[in-house]
Structure 1
Amino acid sequence: MLLTTKFLRPSADPRSVIRPRLSSLLEASAAKRLNLVIAPAGFGKTTLVCQWCAQSTRPTAWLSLDEHDNEPRRFWQYVIGAFEANGLTGLEECRQQLAQCRLEELEGPITALINTLTTDLTSDLSNEQSAWSLVLDDYHFIQDTRIQRQMSYFLDYLPPGVLVTLASRTEPALPLARWRVRRWVEDIHPGLLAFSEEECRHFFRDTMGLALSESDIRRVCARTEGWVAAMQLSALSGSPVDSTRAGGAGDQHQLDIDERRISDYVLSEVLEQQPEPIRRFLLDTAFCPRLCASLCDAVRGASDSQVLLEQLLRENLFLIPLDTRNEWFRYHDLFREALLQRAGQLAPENAEQKWQRVVHWLLDHGHVQEAIGQIVQHRDWPWLAQVLSEHGNNLIHSGFHLQVLDWLDALPAPTMSASPQLLMLQVWALFFANRVEMLAPLLSELEDMLDRQVADSHPDAEGALGLQSEISLIRSYLARSRSDDKSASDLTQQVLKDIDHTRIPLKSVTYYGLGLDCYGKGELADAEEALKSSVRYGEVERKPSTVLSSGGLLAWIQYNRGDIDTALETCTSVRQWVDQHHSDPRQPMLISCWQNSALTEIYRERNQPQLAASYLAPLLDHVENGTEPGQHVIIQFVRGHLAFSEGRYQDAIEVLEDAASVARRKRANILFEPPACSALLARCYLATGHVEKAADWVEQITSETFTNPLNREQNQISVARVQVAMGQPAAATATLVPLRLSAEKDQHYRHLAEIQLVYSEALAAEGKHKEARQMLTLALQRAAEAGFMRLLAEESPTLRRMCLELPVLQAPGVWNQKVLEMLRAQPEPSEAVADVGLANAGTPGNENAQLPEPLSQREIQVLELINQGLANKDIASTMGVAPTTVKAHIRNLYGKLAVGSRTEALAKARALGLLT
């Protein structure tokens, strides 16, 4: 049961200062999604937000958090409860999902909440104030990294207009830097809580309890420009600034708001008035970008830093807590800059020594990125080269390859060209950034350098030889991108032979490459073993990105073989390990295309489309912003499959045609055989009643060769489906008989169930009803054992009716009941559905036929709209599709026309006669 008083907004204190300046900052705006009100206790955060809520006309859900809410399920129960308590309807399914799902599956109910907010918003478009506000008070109690990641997801996908306000004593561990770049965040920190003259009067007399004269209040307010922290320091000293000259006619101490004058004020009016121990502590610790007792002790050569930090916190000396345990802090930036300036003036030699102590402590305690940031800021290039040589590989394999590239770019060219280790680091960083076209010349340069070192008996000749294994490993991946399987395999085996002699842990990456080799050759059992080894060594070597990629591909294979429970267990265990060892929520969450795609398929198959969509959503950004061709095909394939399952056939056709086109055009750049997009496209055409179009796709399918047995089986199953639809059941049976034997032999249980389903329909079409029922019973038994559900609902209306009539499905059981409900809920096909998006998909004209790969009707429509001068967003609006879909069409027509810009596309289209 939820405590309903947590949903009550506190009543505004009539004695509190009314602050319209800050209230206006909290108001909603076009892009904003988050108000961030951060200040220590007693800064009026809750009062300010309450005042704003009281005057706002937007519906508002209020939640007061406490230490007991730092648990994911409880936190979201209270968030949903806050919305319900304040009038949002339609959350029953969301609450039910939240109560039943596992902690790893909370993206489902969170997605349901987002969808409910979207539905509520779109149902009342006439009211500009219909968008909701959510206020989370005392958010500093929320420390669980799982909740922070979930809040990141929630805010990333909020519908336009919905506004979240967080009031907290500490800055939350959310991706605020990314959101600030997008102008999603309004920050109200202590530095922004500057008081007006009237607010100063209230502050000094009522809050601080000082009996100051009107002239003193005006003078202090003018001196500090209403900066509450500076005023508080003055008040804590027991007398206002310049009180000895209060009311003097010659008082000319008014301050303007700029960093230099604020710095002068901090140094002269604050720092110098502190006791000597505090003043020395402030100057010594200003070199720390963040502060904790251990770091401060190391810099100062003392052991009392925790006591002094707590004293500064009590006195609000520009110290901002970064957690609720009084362990980590930071100074206000302007205050720290002033301290650094003074410390450098007093003792330049000591300043350099203390800065070096800070960097050494950060490196010794695992804060490598922060240490490198300090080194780059000081432009100490030799030290940067040394630190990158030692730590760069681990950073790359933890997902920070782009940052490593930036740091390497900062190094002077002679430093880079003289170091094989740094060049190798650049190669790895480029490899993980998918910039493989830049690798060949760098590898040649690196090999020449190593050959010279060995020939000249260089002191590091042994290390140079060790780098050869890394070069061989990179070259094996490049060979895969050229479909040179033999070279890739030979190079990988050579690396495995020499791997124990290398200084860089490479086993996880090598076994991942071996897993890709086996997967590409269709040796699925060997692929699984190699990928399990990659996960195991990746955990030992602490390489989160490799663990995630290997585990994701492993789960993808397990799912497609029919081991759904095993695949889900693999995803869960790998995700938990990665989150444990890559747990900073401020950094981008590591995402594996393989794993999220596998999870999308798993939950789609289990008839949980919302949860499937929540795992697909992060991948769509990669499609829109550009990604490696193989990943593009996988993402579009699972996206199309989800659309197909939901009956959105035209959406499915568009993304699958895009996937098939990219797979054909970019095949040489894909390290594995892409999924069977053509097979699923054929099913889409059958579902919309376009049998002839499906037959055309079959001709293309039969002309293709497949090394991966999963793809080969999927395509042959689609061939049999089309044969049944064309009234050729005997041909379908002939197609399926050998396929059934091979799938059973290789234990591809998902395909085996699908084969048995299509086989039973073919037998029924031949009038062999008894054999058809027997085959269908086997299929249902196989589906029940594995937990397949959507597999049945996606079949033809004939098969669905046969399933509903089968006695085995009427037996008691949870799975039986769910499948019956799902089958009964499936709509019957109609002419309207059959015509969706395909009414104008006629035979291309002669001009279009001149192209090696003709433009689709949709691509021709996009081309015509480009010719009219429309921007992408206007094209999307005209066509009624997402901007991402428009980008995909433009990318495809560029590829088919062999052009690289709009101007070139229009010129080529006119030359071909496609445009007049």
Structure 2
Amino acid sequence: MLLTTKFLRPTTDARAVRRDRLSTRLAPGGSKRLNLVIAPAGYGKTTLVSQWCAQSSLHDAWLSLDEHDDDPRRFWQYVLGAFEHAGLPDMPACRKQLTRQDGSDLTPVMTALLNTLERDGGHWCLVLDDYHFVGNADIHRQLAWFLDYLPPGVLITLVSRTEPPLPLARWRVRRWVEDIHPGLLAFSEGECRQFFRDTMGRDISEADASALWRKTEGWVAAMQLSALSGGDRISGDSAAVANIDERQISDYVLTEVLQQQPSRLADFLLQTACCPRLTASLCDTLRGRDDSQEILEELLRQNLFLIPLDTRNEWFRYHDLFRDALVQRLRHTDPARAESLWRQTVTWLLEHGHVQDAIAQIVRQQDWPWLARVLAEHGNNLIHAGFHLPVLDWLEALPAHLVNDSPRLQMVRIWGLFFANRVDSIEPRLVALEDLLDRRVADSHPDAEGALGLHSELALIRSYLARTRNDDKRVSDLTRQVLEEIDHTQIPLKSVTYYGLGLDYYGRGELRKAEEVLRSAVHYGQVERKPSTALSSGGLLAWIQYNRGDTDLALDTCTQVRRWVDQHYSDPSQPRLISCWQNSTLTEIYRERNEPTLAHNHLAPLLEHVTRGTEPGQHVIIQYVRGHLAFSEGRLQEATEALEDALLTGRRRRDHIVFEPPASAALLARCLLAIGMPEKAAACLDDVHDDELTNPLNREQHRISRARVCNALQQPERALDLLAELEASAGRAGHNRHLVQALLVMAEALDLMNRPAEAQNKLEQAIAMARESGFARLLAEESPRVRTLLCDLPALRAPGRWNRDVLAMLRDQEHRARQPQETVPAREAGPSPVPEEALPEPLSQREQEVLALIHQGLANKDIARAMAVAPATVKAHIRNLYGKLGVGRRTEALARARALGLL
């Protein structure tokens, strides 16, 4: 049973100050989807939103959250209840959907609510008050998904003491968010006068009101404290209040607060004032007591300038104005104690892993020798965690002699420059550091042993620099040296080293060795807590597995690494950590499985990297994968442009790519064949010589593409000669993907030579291997002749889902091939809009997507998976689709859609 009082919007006090300037900002408009009202306790957040709702024409559904709502099922149960209490129709069906749902996936419930809101068509606002009680990451992710798909006319207003971990940066770029922050919530001088006069009933002069406004900086809680504690001193002509300076203001507030507190609370406030953030363990250390958690919760209950930073009452901070005043008082009364407490605080932060907080305090105090020691100890770990740019800034802030006299700090700076891609400035710094190390060893410097320990790091950084110059022998020698000395180094280097070694083996075509060391790279990336290295290593490992033909194994590799990263490094407020290798592999896997929606979902973030600019190796991979997906979907012009760009970048920037780029020329030749330009395809392949290719996967792709061109030029004998050796070598190496393709092309050559029995035998071998390996799309990507042979193949007409799906795909490809190339729509904008005059009511974008997936022969549950929605939602879309088309079943829908030119 739901507590209905949680759905009641707080009534507005007639004496409360009206905030018209803020109510206007909360009103709906443009593309806005979210009002974000964030401020500490006592800023009047709930009062503001309640006032706005009372005067707004929107239907408002109000939900006051508490600590018991930090559970996804309970949270959405109350959201549904809020809408039902506010009068949204059809809510029993949504509640029924929630009761039927098992497990943690509540997408069907959210989908049902979104569909209900869309059908209602009204203007709604959902207010989630006290959202800071929500700490469950699943709720944040679910709410983010819900907001992404809000129908027009629906607005969400979040009221919270802390900014929630949602993808706010992305939403702000899209102009979906209206931010009401403490600076806006702070009362203006006029509102301050009105507050004292109307709300607090104090007859205060304008001069006094102005002085108090400046003192409190518009913080209504502080103003209220002044009004409650001031008695008669605030009324009349209190000229002293108007004339006090900043220090007197701080003394005034502290006196009013501290004098009213028991001594144990007053002492606690002063002892912990130096803490940028507070937690019980830190406060206990500073005080030498064990009751800090109890006191923190007591201060929180009193709203005593304490702001919680989480929903578990573990971390807090003081209001900045209040904290500064406390620190000023402590330094004035007992400077030695203030210094001691500050140093204890920084030491505790360092010992408990809050290195960045500690460094911020050290920088503020400009204690440069201490900063140098901290960066020497923690700098490399910060860099490998992604904070290379702040580390470089901190090193720049240090006096030059502290860096120049420290080999460790110089090495930290070199790593920072490397991760910042400032490679050109590294070499002279390496030379200078090596000279310094040699001198220290020769002079028996006290730190000579530490200097020797840096040689492994120098070898590792030089191995990466050697890769950019294609100096393979130097790379191998240096990497071997690192592996021999790695257990004696001061920082964890194994994951980075093994990843680099994996790149080396991959570039030389030693795929088995590459897989072995990349597994080690993933393992050590997790042990050393380096998510980026684990993702990249796992992504390259999966890329090799997929291109070799182990699609299921590749997907399993990606899934396991992704799960580990999301478990340990998931932050919904930040962009999701991705890897070019892994997202590219997943795009290829889902393209091959004929799941285009999932393929595009993994490609999309990579395209953002291409737009903003990325290193050349990643640029080539992304454009290759992009071109392959466009080729599979029949967008040949887009595919050709992407692959030409990949090929050109790979040639121009070859010296800057530390691995052999994918075989863009081989895939480009296939696009040219599909367009009907075999001579140009042959010329494209002639530009690449086999001896330039060290990776066997790339060599095989080129050889197969050459055979396709031979078939297109009516040279089947030449095609068979090219593939005879490859068939045996690919089989021995277990390169099943290329073996299936070779068998298909050989079947075409045999058919051209009028040897149908042999052709059928090759096709049957290819089908058997493709079925076992889970291949699908590659069968439909071959030439029209091969597709025709496959459609007539008895083995493919046997019962079975895989056979049925492949046949549907082949027929769809044939239909698409008959369409003029210029009519193939671009993927960027999604399905083409349906002319309104063609139907009584135009199809929505989602209905067009469903129609396209029906056309591909997908069952309802497969459509649901492709669209990432519940099967019930798919059924609703199909029902609406049938109604608009005036049909009763799938075959009629497809026929009607073709007649209208929708397919």
Q: Do they fold alike, i.e. is TM over 0.5? A: yes
Does the 8 Å CA contact 2:617/2:657 hold for their aligned counterparts? yes
Q: Tell me what 2:481 maps to.
A: 494
Q: 1:162 to 1:357 in 2, by over 3 A?
A: farther
Q: Tell me what 1:795 maps to.
A: 782
Q: Partners in 2 of 1:402 and 1:811 — Cα distance?
A: 60
SS at match of 2:692: coil
**Pairwise CA distance, 1:635:** 1.6
SS at match of 2:687: helix
Does residue 143 of the first structure (1) align with residue 135 of the second (2)? yes
Q: Deviations over 1:51-77 (max 9, x none)?
A: 546766789998877778757799899
Does residue 640 of the first structure (1) align with residue 627 of the second (2)? yes
Q: Tell me what 1:244 maps to.
A: 232
Does residue 279 of the first structure (1) align with residue 270 of the second (2)? no
Does residue 167 of the first structure (1) align with residue 159 of the second (2)? yes
Q: Tell me what 1:20 maps to.
A: 20
Q: Partners in 1 of 2:626 and 2:115 — Cα distance?
A: 22
SS at match of 2:203: helix
Q: 1:737 aligns with which of 724, 733, 740?
A: 724
Q: 2:418 aligns with which of 423, 426, 431?
A: 431
Q: Partners in 2 of 1:441 and 1:99 — Cα distance?
A: 62
Q: Partners in 2 of 1:401 and 1:618 — Cα distance?
A: 22
Q: 1:769 aligns with which of 733, 756, 772?
A: 756
**Pairwise CA distance, 1:513:** 1.7
Q: Tell me what 2:362 maps to.
A: 375
Pairing of 1:753-902 with structure 2 (within 5 A):
753-826=740-813, 827-830=815-818, 832-833=820-821
Pairing of 1:16-415 with structure 2 (within 5 A):
19-27=19-27, 34-39=34-39, 45=45, 48-49=48-49, 52=52, 136-145=128-137, 148=140, 165-174=157-166, 186-189=178-181, 192-194=184-186, 213=201, 215=203, 224-225=212-213, 232=221, 240-245=228-233, 247-249=235-237, 253=241, 263=250, 266-415=253-402
Q: 2:466 aligns with which of 479, 486, 489?
A: 479
**Pairwise CA distance, 1:674:** 0.5
**Pairwise CA distance, 1:457:** 0.6
Q: Partners in 1 of 2:776 and 2:102 — Cα distance?
A: 19
Q: Tell me what 2:646 maps to.
A: 659
Q: Partners in 2 of 1:552 and 1:143 — Cα distance?
A: 31
Q: 1:10 to 1:665 in 2, by over 3 A?
A: farther
**Pairwise CA distance, 1:337:** 2.5
**Pairwise CA distance, 1:206:** 12
SS at match of 2:816: coil
SS at match of 2:817: coil
Does the 8 Å CA contact 1:740/1:752 hold for their aligned counterparts? yes
Does the 8 Å CA contact 1:229/1:316 hold for their aligned counterparts? no
Q: How many residues align?
A: 814
Pairing of 1:534-549 with structure 2 (within 5 A):
534-549=521-536
**Pairwise CA distance, 1:736:** 2.1
Q: Partners in 2 of 1:652 and 1:192 — Cα distance?
A: 49
Q: Partners in 1 of 2:778 and 2:60 — Cα distance?
A: 43
The range that moved more, 601-610 or 801-810, is 801-810
Q: 1:279 to 1:82 in 2, by over 3 A?
A: closer
Give the counterpart letter for 1:278 in structure 2.
L
Give the counterpart letter for 1:144 in structure 2.
N
Q: Partners in 2 of 1:815 and 1:206 — Cα distance?
A: 75
The range that moved more, 290-299 or 697-706, is 697-706
Give the counterpart letter for 1:193 in structure 2.
L
SS at match of 1:828: helix
Does the 8 Å CA contact 2:307/2:317 hold for their aligned counterparts? yes
SS at match of 1:326: coil
Q: 1:41 to 1:452 in 2, by over 3 A?
A: closer
**Pairwise CA distance, 1:584:** 5.0
Does the 8 Å CA contact 1:535/1:550 hold for their aligned counterparts? yes
Q: 1:222 to 1:837 in 2, by over 3 A?
A: closer
SS at match of 1:316: coil
Q: Deviations over 1:412-460 (max 9, x none)?
A: 2211111111111112222222222222111111111111011101111
**Pairwise CA distance, 1:775:** 2.1
Q: Partners in 1 of 2:28 and 2:304 — Cα distance?
A: 32
**Pairwise CA distance, 1:673:** 0.2
Q: Partners in 1 of 2:82 and 2:632 — Cα distance?
A: 34
Q: 1:594 aligns with which of 575, 578, 581?
A: 581
**Pairwise CA distance, 1:468:** 1.0
Q: Partners in 2 of 1:832 and 1:57 — Cα distance?
A: 51
Q: Partners in 2 of 1:383 and 1:489 — Cα distance?
A: 39
Does residue 527 of the first structure (1) align with residue 514 of the second (2)? yes
**Pairwise CA distance, 1:507:** 2.1
Q: 1:345 to 1:640 in 2, by over 3 A?
A: farther
Which runs of 5 or more residues in structure 2 are unaligned? 827-903
Give the counterpart letter for 1:396 in structure 2.
I
Give the counterpart letter for 1:694 in structure 2.
A
Q: Partners in 2 of 1:19 and 1:445 — Cα distance?
A: 63
TM-score (norm 1): 0.78
Q: Partners in 2 of 1:82 and 1:725 — Cα distance?
A: 65
Q: Tell me what 1:670 maps to.
A: 657
SS at match of 1:394: helix
TM-score (norm 2): 0.79
Does the 8 Å CA contact 2:187/2:220 hold for their aligned counterparts? no
Does the 8 Å CA contact 1:597/1:616 hold for their aligned counterparts? yes
Q: 1:716 to 1:26 in 2, by over 3 A?
A: farther
Does the 8 Å CA contact 1:397/1:544 hold for their aligned counterparts? no
Identity %: 61
Q: 1:241 to 1:571 in 2, by over 3 A?
A: same
Q: Tell me what 1:455 maps to.
A: 442
**Pairwise CA distance, 1:697:** 1.4
Q: 1:225 to 1:807 in 2, by over 3 A?
A: farther
**Pairwise CA distance, 1:532:** 0.9
**Pairwise CA distance, 1:140:** 2.9
SS at match of 1:287: coil
Give the counterpart letter for 1:535 in structure 2.
V
Q: Deviations over 1:779-835 (max 9, x none)?
A: 222222222222233333433343333333344444334334433443422463158
Give the counterpart letter for 2:644 in structure 1.
E
Q: Tell me what 1:901 maps to.
A: none
Does the 8 Å CA contact 2:12/2:47 hold for their aligned counterparts? no
**Pairwise CA distance, 1:764:** 2.8
Q: 2:551 aligns with which of 559, 564, 571?
A: 564
Does the 8 Å CA contact 1:562/1:786 hold for their aligned counterparts? yes
SS at match of 2:370: helix
How much is the aligned-residue C-alpha RMSD, in angstroms?
A: 4.6
Give the counterpart letter for 1:452 in structure 2.
R
Q: Partners in 2 of 1:130 and 1:657 — Cα distance?
A: 49
Does the 8 Å CA contact 1:259/1:334 hold for their aligned counterparts? no
Q: 1:448 to 1:725 in 2, by over 3 A?
A: same
The range that moved more, 61-70 or 333-342, is 61-70
Q: Tell me what 1:855 maps to.
A: none
Does the 8 Å CA contact 1:757/1:775 hold for their aligned counterparts? yes
The range that moved more, 356-365 or 752-761, is 752-761
Give the counterpart letter for 1:787 in structure 2.
G
Q: Partners in 2 of 1:780 and 1:102 — Cα distance?
A: 39
Q: Tell me what 1:882 maps to.
A: none
Give the counterpart letter for 2:530 in structure 1.
K
Does the 8 Å CA contact 1:682/1:694 hold for their aligned counterparts? yes
**Pairwise CA distance, 1:30:** 7.2
